[in-house]
A and B are shown apart, each in its own frame.
Chain A
Amino acid sequence: DTAVSQTPKYLVTQMGNDKSIKCEQNLGHDTMYWYKQDSKKFLKIMFSYNNKELIINETVPNRFSPKSPDKAHLNLHINSLELGDSAVYFCASSQNSGGAKETQYFGPGTRLLVL
């Protein structure tokens, strides 16, 4: 009964490949997020969706494309993977509109290693 789940937990792939990471939340939340934690441990927002609509789109290469089939799922597809994409990717969700004072609940992370 994990609140925010991500698959896969680990992903090792070659440069140039295309891969997807899936996220699901069973909290009934309206807003979902993708964060990237790089080698320097910065945890940075990439995207946010509220009720399947994109509300945050930070400066992220367009090789990254989020997709929200319904408000319980937010998947991240990455085209033409590069070495610099190696990081831990965290999915998160919050209850309502994603406002600044909402608590976000994080998934366990997906460790991506691009060789």
Chain B
Amino acid sequence: DQQVKQNSPSLSVQEGRISILNCDYTNSMFDYFLWYKKYPAEGPTFLISISSIKDKNEDGRFTVFLNKSAKHLSLHIVPSQPGDSAVYFCAASASGTYKYIFGTGTRLKVLA
């Protein structure tokens, strides 16, 4: 029962272009969403989050969009840089719980 899905296991983008990573969820109780970035042999590091009362949150080159009706969120990276090459995990949580549910990740490769 995969409540958070990242259907694209990998994505390649040219440096300077936009990277769009997608995430779908099934549980309508989720009201907080996060993106984590993970380099090889390291733990995930927090990137950006969004509450369900918003539909967009921006932090520098990173923007997360939330479409509640479609149960879909996306992470936009503009412009993409080679250092952005990593695995990106989407996670979701519901108020009253103490845990995140993670997707399986999308490996982003930014080509120089």
Among A33, A44, A50, A100, contact of B97 (Cβ-Cβ < 8 Å): A100
Most buried by A among B97, B98, B105: B98
B96 at interface by CB-CB < 8 Å: yes
Chain A residues, Cβ within 8 Å of B46: 103-105
User: Could you say which of B45, B49, B51, B98 contacts A106, with CB atoms under 8 Å apart?
Assistant: B45
**Any A CB within 8 A of the CB of B34:** yes
Instruction: Choose, from B14-22, B73-81, B87-95, the stretch at the interface.
Output: B87-95
Residues of A within 8 A of B99 (CB): 33, 45, 48, 56, 58, 100
Interface size grouping (class) on chain A = 20 to 34
- What is the CB-to-nearest-CB distance from B35 to chain A, in angstroms, rounded to a whole number? 11
Complex Cα–Cα for A97 and B89 (A): 23
Also in contact, A101 and B44, with CB within 8 A (given A41-B104, A48-B98): no
A window 63-108: CB within 8 A of B = 90, 92, 97-101, 103-108
Neighbour of B102 across the interface among A4, A42, A50, A55, CB < 8 A: A42
Contact B93 A106 (CB under 8 A): no
Which residues of A line the B interface, CB within 8 A? Answer: 4, 31, 33, 40-45, 48, 50, 55-56, 58, 90, 92, 97-101, 103-109
Known: A45-B99, A97-B98. 14 other contacts (CB 8 A): A43-B89, A43-B105, A45-B100, A55-B98, A56-B98, A56-B99, A99-B95, A100-B32, A100-B99, A101-B93, A103-B49, A106-B45, A109-B41, A109-B43
